[in-house]
Amino acid sequence: MFGINGWEALILLVLGVVILGPERLPEYAVKLAEGVRKLRVMAEGAKVSLKDQLGPEYQDINWRQYDPRQYDPRRIVRQALAEPLDYVAAPFREIADEARSVRDEVMGVGTAARSFAEGGPAPAAPASVAPASVAYAAAAAGVPAALAGAPAAYPSGVGSYWDTEAT
């Protein structure tokens, strides 16, 4: 009833005998029984009073949701871990998609630069790729900057964006 098995009840009985003594034990057992009866009567009275106050709405109440035995911490944690966390993963998916698109653009520029270096036709750079990134990808592929879509005439004449004479 109270989650007490036989051995625990026996230990409590022995402790009661030792603490209260054999002559006072029956007196306290009667008081305990009366207290339990009064508690049951009070609970039943509260139930009847609630039923009278709520009227027909009393039947609509789901009493199971108010049962404290249903709040098992292990079950609550298990349910929380089973929930999908889409709101947490969504920003990371967006970042991963953006990183994939940047990778694909860089791979496309690298492939075009290799093709051009091997003597193929000059590829047109995608509109979304800046000229500096074309030059960087071409330099990584071993193509001179002047041939990779970078401007051919620079102030210094060496194929640099910077004017070495001015610094």
pLDDT in tens, 7-22: 888 898 888 888 888 7
Instruction: Answer whether residue 123 is part of any domain.
Output: yes
Q: Find all residues with CB under 8 Å of 155, minimum gap 6, and list them.
A: 163, 165, 166
Q: Are residues 49 and 112 in the same domain?
A: no
CA distances from 76 to 18, 80, 85, 112 (A): 42, 6, 16, 56
User: Do 74 and 97 belong together in one domain?
Assistant: no
Shared domain check, 64 and 99: no
- Which pLDDT belongs to residue 38? 95
The answer to the question of residue 73 being in a domain is yes
Q: Residue 152 falls within a domain, yes or no?
A: no
Q: What is the mean pLDDT of residues 79-100?
A: 84
Phi, psi dihedrals of residue 160, rounded to the nearest 5°:
-120, 150
Mean pLDDT for the stretch of residues 135-140:
52
158: burial class by Cβ within 10 Å (0-12, 13-18, 19+)?
exposed
What average pLDDT does the chain have?
75
Q: 99 and 126: one domain?
A: yes
> Residue 137 is part of which domain span?
92-147
Quick one: average pLDDT of 111-124? 74
* Distances, alpha carbon 70 to alpha carbons 46, 60, 74, in Å: 22, 20, 11
Res. 150: pLDDT tops 50: no
Average pLDDT over every residue of 133-144: 52
Residue bearing the bigger pLDDT, 57 or 101: 101
- Check pLDDT > 90 for residue 34: yes
Non-local (6+) Cβ contacts of 65 within 8 A are none
> What's the rounded Cα separation, in Å, for the pair 12 and 7?
9
Residue 132 lies in a domain: yes
What pTM was computed for the model? 0.31
123 and 56 share one domain: no
At 24, phi and psi to the nearest 5?
-95, -10
